[in-house]
Amino acid sequence: MEESSAREIVCAHSPDSDDAYMFYALATRKLRSPLVHFVHQLSDIQVLNQKAMLGEYDLTAISYHAYPYVADKYQLMASGSSVGDGYGPVVVAQSPMSPDDLKGKRIAVPGKMTTAYLTMRIAQPDFEAVVVPFDQILDAVSQKHADAGLVIHEAQLTYGKGGFHKVLDLGVWWKKKFNLPLPLGANAILRDLPPEIKSECCRLMRESIRYSLDNQEEALNYAMQFARDMEQPLAEKFVGMYVNHYTEDCGELIPKAAQMMLDMGHELGLIPNRVQLEFVR
């Protein structure tokens, strides 16, 4: 049973179906601990990246791209990564274009600290970024504020409904070029928390993901309330894409891919400092 002396951990993540699925057992208190008590805070990923620079939350979802900017305050958790294995953020346009056509174009992006933006710069360094909230990117393209849009979250599966055309799937491009999965999001935990608290948070996170993977129907029913404009089959597909065995434990492959990505970002002048990824389990 949970004890009154349990330490409160403010845990921040996106209001998305995949994050809701991942945190289901913790948010509904199916998992409890005598050491820690989770309080959930929901925010857009770009906001979470910015708050992490201030060390605002004990445990937070961040973009892998944001880690060099928060590494002085946070370590990464081995559980909770969102990984695209041969799929990922998608560049879309109102009319058919080739990936080469993106050169020099105005592209709506969901924030310059997102991994989607970093990957886009690696794939095509020459474009003008127009920063737009992730859920307004398709509108920005349709209203001609941008020539193309870089969509994340559920819009990766639903853009076709609005008549948009796929120009480039960054997860496909990454897999073909490097033969690696594309690490997009991670969970980070404050460095200065006591080691036993960090270990307990990692254990609970891993068990929460495992609970959802083992009890998919009830976890998906819970996650559906966060699935923007998606029917259950599509939400199930989306959750299945981004909550997988890499999410339960990143293993060795995901740190390798993420380190390579951040090193490339540094070499291209997109990331000011080179960092070594640190994971806690």
The distance in angstroms from the start CA to the end CA of the chain is 23
CB 64 within 8 A of CB 48: no
Instruction: Report which of 139, 22, 119 is spatially closest to residue 65, judged by C-alpha positions.
Output: 119
Q: Rounded to 5 degrees, what are φ and ψ at 189?
A: -130, 145
Q: Which amino acid is at 30?
A: K
CB 162 within 8 A of CB 37: no
Q: Is 143 helix (H, G, I), strand (E, B) or coil?
A: coil
Instruction: Report which of 152, 188, 205, 241 is spatially closest to residue 62, judged by C-alpha positions.
Output: 188
- Among candidate residues 13, 37, 65, 153, the one labeled active-site is 153
Q: Is 105 helix (H, G, I), strand (E, B) or coil?
A: coil
Is position 153 annotated as part of the catalytic site?
yes
Beta strands in the chain (DSSP E): 7-13, 36-42, 59-63, 74-77, 82-84, 90-93, 106-109, 128-131, 148-151, 165-169, 182-190, 279-280
Degrees, nearest 5: CA angle 49-149-235: 70
- Which residues are marked as active site? 153
